[in-house]
Amino acid sequence: MLRIISTYIAVVVLLSLGFLGVGTMAKAAELRNPMQPPPYALQKFRQAKWTGKRTTTSTKAIKPQQKPLQLTSILYARERKVAIINDQMLVVGDRIRGAELVKLTRATARLIRKGKVINLSLDNNLTTVRKEAVESDL
């Protein structure tokens, strides 16, 4: 008889521990997502959404100014002629920012954009750099 009672008590204890574990799992399921905004922020967003008012100030998007087209170098050979404009390699017929490369010589590149001709030439800065280097060695 004592053995039956102790078995019964053991079963009751194990079942109660099992229900306690289920309760703990339910608590774990109630944990909040750490990436979710706090409740006050959600409430503020919902209020602004339904009242038609914005919470942030509206600003017009400013279009960034583009660098002007700059001819960096020309690779000129009998079989292949390549211009490097704004760090892009172009051959005759290629386009950059809506302008088509139509002519390429050893020192110049000609592009056409919307009927307007754009002539680019190589800057002759190398001679001034060499001159400064020679003069600085003195």
- Where is pLDDT greater, at 99 or 19? 99
Q: Which fold has domain 71-126?
A: SH3 type barrels. (2.30.30)
CA 53 centroid distance within chain:
29
Structure tokens belonging to residue 92: 């005759």
Average pLDDT, the chain: 77
| Contact present, 92 and 101 (Cβ < 8 Å) | yes
Classify 131 as helix, strand or coil.
Answer: helix
What is the percentage of the chain residues whose pLDDT exceeds 70? 69
- The b/e string for 10-29 (b: 16+ C-beta within 10 A; e otherwise) is eeeeeeeeeeeeeeeeeeee
All residues at 6 or more sequence positions from 21 whose CB lies less than 8 Å from its CB, including other chains: none
**Residue-wise pLDDT tens digits, 65-111:** 778 888 988 988 888 899 999 889 999 999 999 999 999 998 899 99
Distance, CA of 110 to CA of 116 (rounded, Å): 10
| Contact present, 104 and 74 (Cβ < 8 Å) | yes
Q: Domain map of the chain by residue range?
A: 1-28, 71-126
Please report the DSSP string for 45-86 in residue order: HHHHHHHT--SS---PPPPPPPPPP-EEEEEE-SS-EEEEET
Model's pTM, two decimal places? 0.45
- Where is pLDDT greater, at 135 or 66? 66
